[in-house]
A and B are shown apart, each in its own frame.
Chain A
Amino acid sequence: MTKKVPRGSWVEIKKIVLEPGSRAPQVPEDTARVPLEMRIKGYLTSPAAKGDEVEIRTVIGNRYEGVLHDSDPSYDHKYGKPVPELITIGEELKQILSADGGE
């Protein structure tokens, strides 16, 4: 049995705004092939499992319906590994500036 996400949880829903056949006429072919989707975060108004049709209430009180996509949606964007192409730039520049003692 799928575990239910309790009512009041902070969640993210997904909904399709436009299906592939109803995209704007000017979009390129690769975009026209896929739906326009929207994600919104808010409080779940009744218990549900991921993938269920649900309703949320947003921080400013609006209500939206969509498919429950995630609970406690996390911010995963990060820095990642150091970038070798950037690391040495500072020293290179300092060397240029100190080469003839500047002005």
Chain B
Amino acid sequence: MMSANNYEELMARRNEIMKKAVGIDYEKFRKDELVFDYDKMMNEAGYDLDEVREIQKEAGVGRTPLLELENLTALARELAPPGKGARIFLKDEAANPSGSYKPRRASVSVYHAQKEGYPGVVAATSGNYGAAVASQANIRGLDSIIVQEVYDSAGRGQPEILEKGRKCEAYGAEVLQLTVGPELFYTFLQVLEDTGFFNASLYTPFGIAGVETLGYEIVDEIRKREGIEPAAVICTNAGGGNLTGTARGLKKAGAEKTRVIGASVDLSGLHMASDEDFNRKSFTTGHTGFGIPFATWPDRADVPINAARALRYMDRYLTVTQGEVFYITEALARLEGLERGPAGNTSLAPALSLAQELDKEEIIVVQETEYTGAGKHPISQLNFARGMGVEVKRGHPEEESPGENIIIPERPGQIEGIDLDLDSIRISYLEKAVEKSGITSVDQNYLDFLAREVNLKPDETRKLIEKNLDVELDL
């Protein structure tokens, strides 16, 4: 195993390796250097909602409990102006086979790999997804290999990833544990080439189609129970797949007015490929270090066209601090009797402040939870952070500086999701789209495509381009 390969040589073969390992001819969906047909890709390469439901039913995935958080709602109402304080519901995705929403994503890929005759599946992931792939692979009798970024150069493992590595091994996966660096992708390519296994990427149409059931179930159940549709669904956002799949499911259920809100832990200032910064963070996913780069340019993933395109579906993007998520994790355990997370509770933290903006009659759904345990638990993470010299104290979340300190709020009223400027993220996407495609002018066809990519009307997109980009408009 592990044929010796020079970094550049192997990376040069990436497209060829990828094509064999996912079996999708992405070129079929490209129209030119900029435009590709996203809907056609999702429809032809993926599976439809009914097929996905059947696949997931076979594998024990989905139809998780939707819980009303009455005590957290009461808390939001204590803090809210009269008449405000929307009801907060939580989709308890920890009830899926491997303890997170990720089996939805893994189930379709593993089903497809089995159907196409691949001997096994490989996933590059530090987290819950690896456990989901390994668990689903067992259900369908396939081997699995998980490639993880775990250690810094001093051999210190991030406790959350150590736990998730343990869980992958518990399911019988072969786990390749690496030190910090984006060359994880290089190792991943090598494994694909050496084994001929299926690339159970998080970012194929299979993975995203698998999450659509989550959005669909939320609307279906809220409608049946309450006779209305949720005013907002909050999704923890990292690579964009959770939000994209959920939003597509909401639309498939016909909930056109439900606002889709992304939430990420603010890790600004920490470099994601830095050996020194690696263990100065307490969140290994659901943070801005993935959320922003993937929103501004999704096609940085392990497939040629990323099916997770959060900017196409996001109505609002909120950030919260690490300390706020630890606080809300404690609140969820103490007020609602649910010990979950913490990473999966990233979207629960801003739900408390969002509920205070909305009317009492409205409903907010927090769309995931994840299992907890040694390594993943706030106690593990905060002890580890202290050991790394990160200060932990009570205070105002505004004082938090990622890598330097973790500020546990003094009062629940201090918890507030901070809006990121979506337009600046859109501008950043548009700049990259122009740069990477090499187009020199934007005609109507390009404008229509870009407008869909940034979830604006063509006219609004034109204005953003005119004002901010150095490219000709040819309309």
Contact yes or no, A80 B383, CB < 8 A? yes
Contact yes or no, A27 B273, CB < 8 A? yes
How far is B119's CA from A61's CA once the two chains are assembled, in angstroms? 12
Contact yes or no, A24 B183, CB < 8 A? yes
CB of A22 within 8 A of chain B? Answer: yes
CB of B172 within 8 A of chain A? Answer: yes
Residue of B nearest to A63 (CB): B1
Contact yes or no, B383 A83, CB < 8 A? yes
CB of B169 within 8 A of chain A? Answer: yes
Q: Select one of A15, A24, A39, A75 contacting B181, CB under 8 A.
A: A24
Q: Select one of A41, A79, A82, A86 contacting B408, CB under 8 A.
A: A86
Q: Select one of B187, B374, B375, B411 contacting A17, CB under 8 A.
A: B187
Q: Select one of A33, A58, A86 contacting B330, CB under 8 A.
A: A86
CB of B159 within 8 A of chain A? Answer: yes
Give chain A residues whose Cβ lies under 8 Å from the Cβ of B78. 96-97, 99, 102
CB of B64 within 8 A of chain A? Answer: no
Known: A36-B179, A93-B334. A77 touches B380 (CB 8 A): yes
Give the residues from 1 to 59 in chain A that come closer than 8 angstroms, CB to CB, to chain B. Answer: 15, 17-18, 22-24, 26-28, 30-31, 33-42, 58-59
Contact yes or no, A81 B7, CB < 8 A? no
Q: Select one of B144, B166, B335, B412 contacting A75, CB under 8 A.
A: B166
A-contact bits for B280-319, CB 8 A (1 contact / 0 none): 0000000000000000000000000000000000000000
How far is B182's CA from A19's CA once the two chains are assembled, in angstroms? 14
Give the residues from 49 to 103 in chain A that come closer than 8 angstroms, CB to CB, to chain B. Answer: 58-64, 75-83, 85-86, 89-90, 92-94, 96-97, 99, 102-103
Give chain B residues whose Cβ lies under 8 Å from the Cβ of A86. 326, 330, 378-379, 382, 408
Give chain A residues whose Cβ lies under 8 Å from the Cβ of B180. 31
Q: Select one of A18, A28, A80, A94 contacting B379, CB under 8 A.
A: A80
How far is B275's CA from A33's CA once the two chains are assembled, in angstroms? 9
CB of B2 within 8 A of chain A? Answer: yes
Q: How far is the CB of A97 from chain B (nearest CB, A)?
A: 6
Known: A64-B1, A89-B334. A34 touches B383 (CB 8 A): no
Give the residues from 119 to 151 in chain B that come closer than 8 angstroms, CB to CB, to chain A. Answer: 120, 143-145, 150-151
Give chain B residues whose Cβ lies under 8 Å from the Cβ of A85. 382, 392-394, 408
A-contact bits for B158-202, CB 8 A (1 contact / 0 none): 010011001001001111111111110011000000010000000
Give chain B residues whose Cβ lies under 8 Å from the Cβ of A62. 1, 145, 174, 195
Q: How far is the CB of B176 from chain A (nearest CB, A)?
A: 6
Contact yes or no, B379 A79, CB < 8 A? yes
CB of B276 within 8 A of chain A? Answer: yes
Residue of A nearest to B274 (CB): A28
Give chain B residues whose Cβ lies under 8 Å from the Cβ of A15. 2
Q: How far is the CB of A79 from chain B (nearest CB, A)?
A: 5
Contact yes or no, A79 B178, CB < 8 A? no
How far is B177's CA from A80's CA once the two chains are assembled, in angstroms? 24
How far is B276's CA from A101's CA once the two chains are assembled, in angstroms? 49
How far is B110's CA from A44's CA once the two chains are assembled, in angstroms? 30
How far is B333's CA from A50's CA once the two chains are assembled, in angstroms? 44
A-contact bits for B407-427, CB 8 A (1 contact / 0 none): 010011000000000000000
Contact yes or no, A30 B275, CB < 8 A? yes
Contact yes or no, B186 A26, CB < 8 A? no
Contact yes or no, A31 B274, CB < 8 A? yes
Residue of B nearest to A82 (CB): B379
Contact yes or no, A103 B74, CB < 8 A? yes
| 8 new A-B contacts at CB < 8 Å, known A26-B273, A34-B179, A90-B330 | A40-B176, A59-B169, A61-B143, A64-B2, A89-B327, A93-B75, A97-B74, A99-B78
Q: What is the interface of chain A, defined by CB distance below 8 A to chain B?
A: 15, 17-18, 22-24, 26-28, 30-31, 33-42, 58-64, 75-83, 85-86, 89-90, 92-94, 96-97, 99, 102-103
A sample of 23 inter-chain contacts (CB < 8 A) reads A17-B178, A17-B183, A22-B6, A30-B275, A31-B273, A31-B274, A33-B275, A34-B275, A37-B151, A59-B174, A60-B174, A64-B2, A79-B383, A80-B383, A86-B382, A89-B327, A89-B331, A90-B331, A90-B333, A93-B75, A93-B331, A96-B75, A96-B78
Which A-B residue pairs are the 8 nearest by beta carbons?
A90-B334, A80-B383, A77-B375, A34-B153, A60-B143, A77-B162, A58-B174, A89-B330
